[in-house]
Amino acid sequence: MTPPQEQAGISATALSEEPTYQDIPLVDLAAQQREVQGQVDAGLGHIFSHTAFIGGEAVTRFEQDYAQFLSSGHCVGVGNGTDALELALRACGIGAGDEVIIPANTFIATAEAISLTGARPVLADVDPTYLLIDPEAVATAITANTRAIMPVHLYGQTAFVEQLTPLAQSCGAVIIEDAAQAQGATRFGQSAGTLGDIAGTSFYPGKNLGAAGDAGAVLTNDDQLATQVRMLAAHGSRSKYVHERLGRNSRLDAIQAVVLNAKLERLAHWNELRRQAAARYEELLTGVAGVTLPQQAAGNQDIWHLYVVQVEDRDRVVAELNASGIGAGIHYPYPVHLTQAFAHLGYKAGDFPVTEHAAGRILSLPLYPHITREQQLRVVDELMRVVQQ
């Protein structure tokens, strides 16, 4: 009888061969899950035994604890990070005819959330060192229709919100932070997500604080904005069957809250391990020809959601790293204005030169709390080999 593995096209010899190395993923979610598994299992058992699937103790606990972690007045759990940004915008009254300034270097969800309100995303270039929204570019992008500025705390950094605040005040705009990549990052001691009027964040599994599926939250110190977000996320209702505004259904699932509660207890430690890993990469890669290292801005304590270097011939480098088992990635290869989805904005290639130049060079190396020195040594060895070919 043919063995099952050979029926599937896998030889017994191949199964018995030891690999010469273990693949190194871009992010190791399995290691995180092993650390929290017991606590998550107990929490899920409670949810299912009490059938407390919507709202309830787990969600309330997470909202309170995450608000306390960031020193935020309010945390409102919602369905995902894109909803969080859209609900924050709508709570601030942003809609048709309004303009919201965002960096050209961001994930498409930042612009998408604005468009979903009927407002128009207006792009601004980023600075060449940190690839964060450039306050000088923002100043030139302001028009009579500007109603919000949305800095993105990219790669685990905090944007220079204190430089954007007077610009927002000059035109009567609000500051809405996209804090999806900066859970625990600070600027001059203040948490990302608490520097503006309101913020949205994502708990997509790969984030520093990741759920076991989609989840998000809105953060604000403003009582009225928090009330509006909670109402908009519940079909525009503060009490059952009484609907004051056209809202949506966007709730933080109780099951996801169980996972988030377990991981939140470890987030500060995990962020510190990320900082140590980033420092190790800097030690190993400083002076390596052909590799530009990321920098930490004065006043920032970054949490290194991503470790983004820049190299020439990036696509070849990524392909060769991946082929050798290194889970390198790109965040992000296509600037917002060069995507088909936002061609209607009327921007063209060359409009945001810093963003476009970086988009062809940026490369994210594996980095996560449980990465080992040995794994990082292998990543560096492979990167040096490929870059110096």
How far, in Å, are 245, 284, 309, 381 from residue 312 at the CA level? 51, 19, 10, 17
Question: Do residues 361 and 312 lie in contact, with contact meaning Cβ atoms separated by under 8 Å?
Answer: yes
**Secondary structure percentages of the chain, helix, strand, coil, to 5:** 45, 15, 40
Rounded to whole angstroms, the Cα distance separating 126 from 78 reads 29
- Closest alpha carbon to 266 in 36, 68, 90: 36
**How do strand 120-124 and strand 99-103 relate by DSSP bridges?**
parallel
Question: Do residues 211 and 262 lie in contact, with contact meaning Cβ atoms separated by under 8 Å?
Answer: no
Active site members: 207
Question: Do residues 179 and 198 lie in contact, with contact meaning Cβ atoms separated by under 8 Å?
Answer: no
Q: CB-based contacts of 294: which residues, under 8 Å, 6+ apart? A: 130, 155, 278, 307, 308, 309
If you write DSSP's letter for every residue of 47-71 in order, what string do you get? Answer: HHHHT--SSSHHHHHHHHHHHHHHT
How far, in Å, are 150, 261, 382 from residue 212 at the CA level? 27, 12, 31
Buried b (16+ CB within 10 A) or exposed e, 155-190: bbbbbbbeebbebbeebebbbbbbbbbbbbbbbeee
User: For residue 314, which amino acid is it?
Assistant: R
Structure tokens at 49: 């035994």
What kind and span of H or E run contains 122? strand 120-124
